[in-house]
């Protein structure tokens, strides 16, 4: 009978259902129905949550598709803008080169104009000198004196030719003067027109480039926003996928807990039948003993011996939970911290510090998380209520339990560490009344429930 008692005790611990002595004060079938009903309800809630998370993952995937479509469109627009900007820049470079060439031509023309101006000034001086000579000598009369002073007809002809040449030369100088002035004015006008045209074209090109640069800046900002949205949705999807995996693991753990509960109830039913049979035998023996006074004392002693062998539900160590760390102090509690919700308590200590399962349970998940680091999630079923405990930031390689494994209260499951999003060695411990979820809406303050 002692061996059977140990078996029942082991099954009760393994099944993560802490019903201390409850079979003595409560009908077996009422307890069984209540336990399985609660577990089935928890399983159904987990399945519903799984569906919700899967729906959110699908929505996020669709959102990513939309973002990728927008990114492709913006990328195409950016390529066109970059091509236009490059083309405009080439044209700006060409216009600047043309302006430089034109300015060189201007400098050359200015030199020519300076020479023409100098020639004009020289001619002006020559004409002024000629005019002064006319004034001093009487002008035309001077020419008559030249003609009348001839010594012969041949000399007269020569003098007439000379006078005609001088007059013609003066008229040529005047024509050249007018032509040079006209050329100067035309050159200056052409120069102004050409420079104005080039400057206008350059201004238009520069305005176009500014406009294109602004458009590119807007598209770059839009692309940056889309990339940020993509990163955000990716992070959400990773978080949802992690939650989906945890829910799947919780479902498996719950199914295992249900099976263990069924096994436990079957064993308790078997035990109850055995106790009933023994009780019937004892009552039959007691009835037979009354018929014979010689065996009355012996029958009474036999009945007392059978009563001492009645198996009762095994006792549970003090309290439903035990301290999850071998040493340490609470360095941070549950609540708002650094602008976010801190869903548990931190227990800090130095050295090699074992971490224990806070209660009997089934390991939901044992894995490495980007935020939790080395972490273990355990599901518990205590007095008709499901709890989930989380043990995070364990030392790398120290996790000693696997998903789906049954653990005992006080069983070592790892060592305190500093992995994941952690600042110094500590255990981040969470207690959830119900299943764990990404929003951590079921998190409760473990202080006062779990000893620290």
Question: For the chain, what is the mean pLDDT?
Answer: 76
d(CA 259, CA 214): 67
DSSP labels, 156-223? HHHHHHHHHHHHHHHHHHHHHHHHHHHHHHHHHHHHHHHHHHHHHHHHHHHHHHHHHHHHHHHHHHHH
Lookup: tokens for 146: 């030249």
In whole angstroms, what is the distance from residue 336 CA to residue 346 CA? 13
| Whole-number Å distance between alpha carbons of 294 and 283 | 18
What is the distance between the alpha carbons of residues 28 and 25, in angstroms, rounded to a whole number?
A: 9
Tokens 């399985």 correspond to: 36
Closest CA to 435 of 212, 238, 254, 300: 254
Phi and psi at residue 345, to the nearest 5°: -120, 150
pLDDT in tens, 171-186: 676 677 677 767 777 8
- 153-290 helix and 28-137 helix, angle to the nearest 10 degrees: 170
Using alpha carbons, select from 381, 423, 451 the residue that is nearest to residue 37. Answer: 381
Residue 242 DSSP code: H
Residues facing residue 389 across a β-bridge = 378, 431
Question: In the predicted model, is pLDDT for residue 14 greater than 50?
Answer: no
Cα separation, 30 vs 421, in Å, equals: 46
Please state, in angstroms and as integers, the Cα–Cα distance from residue 278 to each residue in 28, 195, 300, 306, following that order: 18, 121, 15, 8
Report which DSSP code applies to 416: B
| Domain 329-444 CATH superfamily | Glucose Permease (Domain IIA) (2.70.70.10)
Q: Taking 80 as the threshold, does the pLDDT of residue 362 lie above it?
A: yes
User: By the 8 A CB rule, do 430 and 443 touch?
Assistant: yes
- Sorted by sequence, the CB contacts under 8 Å of residue 49 that are 6+ apart come out as 247, 435, 437
pLDDT digits (tens, 9 = 90+) for 254-301: 777 777 777 777 887 888 888 888 888 888 888 777 776 554 444 444
CB 19 within 8 A of CB 313: yes
296-305 as b/e: b if 16+ CB within 10 A: eeebeebbee
Q: Residues 402-442: pLDDT tens digits?
A: 988 999 999 999 999 999 989 999 999 999 998 888 889 99
Q: What is the pLDDT of residue 119?
A: 74
pLDDT at 216 over 90: no
Residue 287, pLDDT score: 79
What is the CA angle 299-304-306, rounded to 5? 95
Q: Give the model's confidence band at 158: pLDDT under 50 very low, under 70 low, under 90 confident, else very high.
A: low
Per-residue pLDDT at 229 exceeds 80: yes
Separation CA 434–CA 39 (nearest Å): 11
- The dihedrals phi and psi of 351, each to the nearest 5 degrees, come to 85, -165
- φ/ψ of residue 432, rounded to 5: -115, 130
**pLDDT, tens only, 116-127:** 777 777 777 776
Give the separation between CA 261 and CA 36, rounded to whole angstroms: 7
Long-range contacts of 185-188 (CB under 8 A, 24+ apart): 187/109, 187/112, 187/113, 188/113
């Amino acid at each position: 009978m002692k061996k059977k008692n140990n078996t029942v005790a082991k099954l009760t611990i393994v099944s993560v259902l802490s019903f201390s002595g409850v079979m003595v004060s409560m009908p077996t079938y009422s307890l069984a129905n209540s336990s399985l009903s609660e577990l089935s309800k928890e399983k159904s809630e987990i399945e519903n949550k799984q569906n919700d998370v899967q729906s959110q993952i699908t929505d996020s995937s669709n959102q990513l598709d939309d973002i990728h479509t927008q990114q492709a469109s913006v990328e195409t627009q950016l390529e066109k803008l970059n091509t236009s900007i490059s083309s405009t820049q080439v044209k700006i470079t060409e216009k600047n080169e043309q302006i430089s060439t034109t300015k060189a031509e201007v400098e050359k023309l200015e030199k020519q104009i300076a020479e023409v101006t100098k020639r004009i000034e020289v001619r002006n001086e020559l004409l002024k000198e000629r005019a002064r000579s006319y004034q001093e000598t009487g002008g035309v009369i001077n020419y008559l004196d030249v003609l009348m002073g001839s010594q012969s007809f041949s000399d007269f002809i020569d003098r007439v030719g000379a006078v005609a040449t001088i007059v013609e030369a003066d008229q040529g100088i005047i024509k050249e003067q007018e032509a040079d002035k006209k050329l100067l004015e035309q050159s200056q006008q052409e120069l102004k027109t050409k420079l104005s045209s080039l400057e206008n074209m350059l201004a238009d090109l520069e305005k176009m480039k500014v406009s294109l640069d602004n458009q590119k800046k807007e598209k770059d900002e839009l692309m940056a926003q889309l990339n940020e949205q993509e990163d955000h949705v990716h992070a959400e999807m990773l978080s949802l996928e992690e939650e989906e995996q945890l829910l799947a693991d919780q479902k498996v753990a719950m199914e295992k807990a249900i099976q263990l509960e069924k096994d436990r109830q079957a064993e308790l039913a078997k035990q109850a039948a055995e106790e009933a049979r023994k009780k019937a035998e004892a009552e039959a023996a007691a009835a037979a003993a009354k018929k014979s006074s010689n065996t009355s004392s012996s029958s009474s002693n036999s009945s007392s011996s059978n009563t001492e062998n009645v198996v009762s539900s095994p006792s549970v160590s003090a309290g439903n939970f035990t301290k999850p760390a071998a040493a340490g102090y609470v360095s941070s509690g549950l609540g708002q911290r650094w602008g976010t919700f801190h869903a548990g308590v931190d227990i800090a200590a130095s050295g090699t510090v074992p971490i224990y399962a806070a209660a009997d349970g089934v390991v939901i998940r044992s894995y490495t998380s980007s935020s939790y680091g080395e972490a273990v999630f355990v599901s518990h079923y205590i007095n008709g209520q499901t709890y989930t405990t989380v043990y995070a930031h364990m030392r790398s390689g120290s996790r000693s339990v696997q998903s789906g494994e049954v653990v005992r209260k006080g069983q070592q499951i790892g060592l305190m560490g500093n992995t994941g999003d952690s600042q110094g060695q500590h255990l981040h411990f969470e207690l959830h009344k119900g299943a764990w979820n990404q929003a951590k809406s079921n998190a409760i303050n473990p202080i006062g429930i779990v000893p620290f």
